[in-house]
Amino acid sequence: MTLDNRRKKNALTRQMLKDLDQCLDRLSRNSQVSVVILCGAGTDFCAGLDIAELQTTVDADPIEALFSQTEQRLATFPKPVIAAIDGSCIGGGAQLAIACDLRVGTDRAQFAVTPAKLGLLYPTLALSRLVGTIGPAMTKHLMFTAEPIGAATAQQICLITVLTKPEDLDRSALELAETIARRSPFTLTAAKDMINAAINTGISEETERRWTQAHNPDRHIGINAFLENRAAEFDSRPAPGRS
């Protein structure tokens, strides 16, 4: 999926958010999709929300509400999502990147969390994800200063999980996606659901029971492949995962 508003460093408009939400809905129901990569067109990932649209309301539908809906759809998407980040990853762009599971970034990527510059309140769920990703101290640093950090610092605090050169970004993201796509879909979906729960409210007995009692077709496939000294070929798409 590509964010494309190059004139404004891929700043998010209402229509872009609606398109992204619809795209995620389609991909969640497509059994041929194992991993999703989210990137920006050109040399930037995303400079956040289009500030001009913050001042207007269309059909009683403020852009902040659309953004929160889309961000949550991305965070709870049942399959792994990789953000491929080059250039600016600012404000709402950083929120989208953090809502992804993994982030491949170039050495010219820059991150900033900027609500303090605009007098905005950072959404609760997004704040929880940020703390779960980089910890409370660095979250406060980014929130309080609203200043950008470079790729090297972002990698040190685990905001970037893979650091690469700009010319290698697509290849690095695809290689990571291909590796993940070879793994058990059942394990990946269960792990994502439980890790997200651990970050937010903790893994409940209901969540644990949903996965431990679910039918797992990949267990037999994986064990047999290991005993036969060959790579497992999984094809399951577990029903219990959230969308």
Q: 105: which strand partners?
A: 85, 163
- DSSP notation for 57-118: -BTTB-HHHHHHHHHHHHHT-SS-EEEEE-SEEETHHHHHHHHSSEEEEETT-EEE--HHHH
The verdict on 199 and 211 lying in the same domain is yes
Chain-wide mean pLDDT for the chain? 91
Is residue 240 in some structural domain? Answer: no
As a whole number of angstroms, the distance between CA 176 and CA 104 comes to 9
Is residue 238 in some structural domain? Answer: no
The verdict on 79 and 188 lying in the same domain is no
Across the range 148-171, mean pLDDT stands at 97
pTM of the model: 0.90
Cα–Cα distances in angstroms (integers) from residue 212 to residues 9, 186, 190, 191, 233, in the given order? 44, 11, 9, 12, 22
Q: What are the structure tokens assigned to 3, written together?
A: 């964010």
Q: Which of 149, 180, 211 is the last residue of a domain?
A: 180
pLDDT digits (tens, 9 = 90+) for 188-233: 999 999 998 888 778 889 889 989 899 998 998 999 999 999 999 9
Residue of 120 and 39 predicted with greater confidence: 39
The verdict on 24 and 106 lying in the same domain is yes
The verdict on 96 and 193 lying in the same domain is no
CATH number of the domain residue 11 falls in: 3.90.226.10
Nearest CA to 142 out of 103, 104, 108, 98 is that of 98
The verdict on 201 and 151 lying in the same domain is no
Is residue 237 in some structural domain? Answer: no
**Measured torsion, CA atoms of residues 93, 96, 102, 108, in degrees rounded to the nearest 10:** 0
Residues in the chain: 243
Other beta carbons less than 10 A from residue 62's beta carbon: 14
The verdict on 125 and 198 lying in the same domain is no
Q: Which domain holds residue 51?
A: 2-180
| Statement: residue 31 has pLDDT above 90 | no
Across the range 15-23, mean pLDDT stands at 95
As a whole number of angstroms, the distance between CA 50 and CA 92 comes to 9
Is residue 241 in some structural domain? Answer: no
Residues 88, 74 contacting (CB under 8 angstroms): no
- H-helix or E-strand containing 166? none
| Statement: residue 153 has pLDDT above 80 | yes
The verdict on 83 and 168 lying in the same domain is yes
Total tally of structural domains belonging to the chain: 2
**Residue 108: pLDDT band by 50, 70, 90 thresholds?**
very high
